[in-house]
């Protein structure tokens, strides 16, 4: 909230899908705010030493998921991570 200057932040976690036969259900985490937004070209700032979203994107990818960021200047930001749902008691293997 500090950088976004947001008045409101929403967080949701839910199981979705599968959207068609043969596909796995997903767990979707979405964080939205009503802040100042961000210029999408500024999201990958590794050259400046900022790794937060890049690390998150890499982790989600390593779990077989996808990360999306939607933002408009003055209209807030939405960050959505979707990863395959894993049955209770299963061990999730990752490349870490």
CATH of span 9-84:
3.30.565.10
pLDDT above 60 (res 93):
no
pLDDT tens digits for 31-78? Answer: 999 888 876 666 666 666 666 778 888 899 999 999 998 888 788 989
Per-residue pLDDT at 24: 82
Say whether pTM exceeds 0.75: no
pLDDT tens digits for 16-31? Answer: 987 778 778 999 999 9
The C-alpha atoms of residue 84 and residue 96 are separated, in whole angstroms, by: 17
State the first-to-last Cα distance of the chain, in angstroms, to the nearest integer: 30
Q: What is the DSSP letter of 64?
A: T
Q: Which residue has the higher pLDDT, 11 or 7?
A: 11
């Amino acid at each position: 909230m500090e950088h976004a200057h947001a008045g409101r932040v929403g967080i949701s976690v839910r199981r979705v899908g599968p959207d068609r036969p043969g596909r796995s259900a997903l767990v979707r985490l979405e964080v939205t705010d009503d802040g100042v937004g961000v210029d999408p070209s500024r999201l990958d700032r590794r050259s400046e030493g900022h790794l937060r979203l890049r690390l998150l994107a890499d982790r989600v990818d390593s779990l077989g998921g996808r990360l999306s960021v939607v933002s408009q200047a003055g209209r807030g930001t939405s960050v959505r991570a979707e990863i395959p749902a894993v049955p209770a008691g299963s061990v999730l293997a990752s490349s870490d």
